[in-house]
Amino acid sequence: MRSEISLATAAAVERQLMLVHAFVIATKGGPMWSAVAATFDVLRALGLKVPSGRDFIERFATTILALVALPPMQLSPVQLVLLLTHEATHVAQWYADPARMPIWYLQHREKRASYEAGAIAQALAVQWALTGELPANVEELPSALAYGYDLGPEDIALARAELEQEATAIAAGILSTGPARTTIATIYREQPDALDPRALELIRVNSPGVL
């Protein structure tokens, strides 16, 4: 029988992700973040589909280059592991293309959709390794993008299509390179019974070297 991820395992994942993917974690709060939140309120008033300042601080994690800022809320170990895997992917995307990634993410909606699809796919791989299941409906894959990213229906459709490609590989145990591999390997080392046995078997066969 599978066990829930413990706090100690989540802390080990956090340490390993920070070490392997070279980023630091902070908690949102203080005058700088208040100023950013006020900017979001202004952008929202101008008609952009971005979160309110309050939501930005309290509900959204934000990655700026190699800084991951988490909202000041209590997260369960599973939520923390999935969130950190998602944000670590943005850090990896930045390291892979440091000059263009931040500009393209801000400037082009379809690029933003692709970057987010990549991060969602990494967290999805971890979720699948924990439960052995994918969302029942393909439309659920990019559901997190509907609010707060200023994306149009076609951008979300692109993210859904790219996520379906990634999910097809994940369902076969073929894991893309990136933070998901770090997270799954750490959970396997710290608490192997938290992972789904069937998913583990597929990962062993089709992603050799992860475990």
Partner 1 sequence: MPEQTSAEQPVAASAPSPSVPPPVDPSPGVRITQQIREALTDLGGLALAAYLVHRGAITGSHALMFALALLLPSPLLLRLAKVLGARSGSAGAGAMVAMLSASAAWAHFKSYAVLGAGVLGMAACLGGCPMPAPDNCTPFATRCSPSGIPETCSQSQRWSHAPPALPCSIRGPAVCCRTRSPWGNELYACAPPSACLPETTTDAGAEVSDAQ
Tokens of 185: 């390997």
Per CB under 8 A, the list member of 5, 10, 125, 175 interacting with partner 1 is: 175
Span interacting with partner 1, options 36-44, 50-58, 79-87, 92-100, rule CB under 8 A: 92-100
Residues in the chain: 211
Q: Which of 16, 56, 19 is nearest to 34 (CA)?
A: 56
Q: Is 176 helix (H, G, I), strand (E, B) or coil?
A: coil
Span interacting with partner 1, options 53-61, 69-77, 169-177, 187-195, rule CB under 8 A: 169-177
* Number of neighbouring beta carbons within 10 Å of residue 202: 19
For residues 161, 165, 166, 167, the Cα torsion angle rounded to the nearest 10 degrees is 90
In the range 125-144, which residues lie near partner 1 by CB under 8 A? 134, 137-138
From the CB of 31, what's the least distance to partner 1, in Å? 16
Span interacting with partner 1, options 54-62, 79-87, 150-158, 192-200, rule CB under 8 A: 150-158
Cβ closer to partner 1: 27 or 168? Answer: 168
* Number of neighbouring beta carbons within 10 Å of residue 140: 12
Backbone angles phi, psi at 131, to 5 degrees: -115, -20
**Residues binding partner 1 (CB under 8 A):** 89, 92-93, 96-97, 99-100, 102-104, 106-108, 110-111, 114-115, 117-118, 121, 134, 137-138, 154-155, 157-159, 161-169, 171-172, 174-178, 205-209
